[in-house]
Structure 1
Amino acid sequence: MITNDWPFADDADRDDPLTKLRIAVTSSHPRWCYLVTFDRESLARPTDEEAAMLASYLEEYKAYWYGDSWYAAKLAERPLDVDSGANGVIFRKYATDDWGYRRRSWTRGPLYVPQSPGIRERYPDEAPLGPMSLVRVMDHAHSIVGEVDDRWLKWKATHPEVFGP
């Protein structure tokens, strides 16, 4: 059921602490096109430091793609950032320093990269990545052919309070 005060009632958790950071907490296949999501079916929760990284990841995305545009202002009107034209990222935490991510548009291949610990153990030759910390997963999400995008590296460098030196 959708209500005026919480339009995501059929999808995202309203009272999760991550929601205050504009991070949607939902399933691996959310109904809405959130920019950044945390999979509520994760085996572990983000630490406060990791939650700050997720929020910063979202801010970098919005700064790069929307800047100070009218659409950025439109996004801010809702409690979570939704854009049907965006290929949002869904993060899952398996354990301490063991994260995965997926793009909303993925329909083939593994559900998350890196794959879950169970799959990595059963098929070590087919699932070579992992475990990876959240920042390494974010780097991977910003990579093309193994090279991390300069814009992401610059963002992290200008936010040492979140990502460290």
Structure 2
Amino acid sequence: MSESTTWPFEGDAKRDDPLANLRIPVVTSFNPQWKYVAAYIAVDTSPYSWGSQERPTGQEAAMLASFIDEYKQHWFNERYQAKLLERPLDVDSGCNTTVFVKYGDNDWGYRLTSWIYGPTYVPVGPNLRGGKYDEDKQPGPLTLEQVMDRRHSVGDEPMKHWLDWKASHPEVFAS
């Protein structure tokens, strides 16, 4: 994107973050204004930031980009997928943005922007685990892939379309 191009996501997603080059919005609010397919929340300068202290690794960034691609391929036809490419990030008025947070090494959570009750992220962060806000009683950290599996689950098992996607992208999902 050239310097003269306006950034429609000003104040919502960081323009100069390297993840934006992978079409991953890096937001500073757990409820971003735009309806992104998915986003990663980074710390801002506020002492009350709900964002990640750590950055995704290269492999994790590839997984986040793949998560967005899978969503687009699963839910949108080719014509609409092409239309999404007209903007630097993938947004759709019907999206319930999945916001990913990284608590630490191989320790991730997520939230949907439609959530208004319960914990902010699932699983909760390390400082809340085992406490009254830990509805899942999730004892330990989950990898990004495990969190993505949970996001694609109904009951205890991930949906077939997600498992098929991962199987067809072994360069991203090695496990």
Q: Same fold (TM over 0.5)?
A: yes
| CA 1:28–1:61: 2 relative to 1, 3 Å | same
Which residues of structure 2 form unaligned runs of 5+? 43-50
% identity of equivalent residues: 52
Shift of 1:124: 8.8
Shift of 1:4: 5.5
Shift of 1:126: 4.1
Whether the aligned pair in 2 keeps the contact of 1:119 and 1:127 (CA below 8 Å) is no
> Between Structure 1 and Structure 2, which shows a larger proportion of helix residues?
1
Total equivalences in the alignment: 162
In structure 1, what is the equivalent of residue 31 of structure 2? Answer: 29
Give the distance between the partners of 1:37 and 1:11, measured in 2 at CA. 11
In structure 1, what is the equivalent of residue 62 of structure 2? Answer: 52
Which residues of structure 1 form unaligned runs of 5+? none
Give the distance between the partners of 2:13 and 2:135, measured in 1 at CA. 33
RMSD of aligned alpha carbons: 1.6
TM-score by length of 1: 0.92
SS of corresponding position for 1:60:
helix
SS of corresponding position for 1:132:
coil
Q: 2:85 aligns with which of 64, 76, 85?
A: 76
Q: 1:91 aligns with which of 77, 100, 104?
A: 100
Give the distance between the partners of 2:159 and 2:22, measured in 1 at CA. 24
> Are 1:156 and 2:156 matched, yes or no?
no
Whether the aligned pair in 2 keeps the contact of 1:19 and 1:25 (CA below 8 Å) is yes
Question: Over residues 72-101 of structure 1, what are the superposed CA-to-partner deviations in whole Å (9 max), with x where a residue is unaligned?
Answer: 122110000111111121000000010000
In structure 2, what is the equivalent of residue 9 of structure 1? Answer: 10
TM-score by length of 2: 0.87
